[in-house]
Amino acid sequence: MSLFVAVVPPDDAIDDLADRVQGTRRDPATSALLWQPASRWHVTMAFLGDPDDEFDDIVGSQMDGVAATMPMPMLHVAGSGRFGRQILWAGLAGLSAADDALLADLARVVHSRLANAGLQLERRHWHPHLTLARSRGADTRPAAALLQNYVGPAWSVTALLTIRSTGGPQPTHTVVHTSHVPRLTSPADGPDG
CB 44 within 8 A of CB 50: no
Q: Dihedral (C-alpha) 133, 134, 137, 140: value to the nearest 10 degrees? A: 40
Q: Which of 130, 47, 134 is nearest to 87 (CA)?
A: 134
Residues 144-178 have pLDDT tens digits of 999 999 999 999 999 999 999 987 777 789 999 99
Residues 94-145 have pLDDT tens digits of 999 999 999 999 999 999 999 999 999 988 889 999 999 999 888 999 999 9
Region 86-90 average pLDDT: 96
Q: Is 38 exposed, middle or buried (0-12, 13-18, 19+ CB in 10 A)?
A: middle
Which value, in Å, is the radius of gyration of the alpha carbons in the chain? 17
pLDDT of residue 54: 84
All structural domains of the chain with their residue ranges: 2-180
Q: Which of 36, 67, 56, 28 is nearest to 129 (CA)?
A: 36
CATH topology for 2-180? Cyclic Phosphodiesterase; Chain: A, (3.90.1140)
Q: Which of 125, 144, 167 is nearest to 86 (CA)?
A: 144
Q: How many CA atoms lie within 13 A of 169 on its CB side?
A: 0
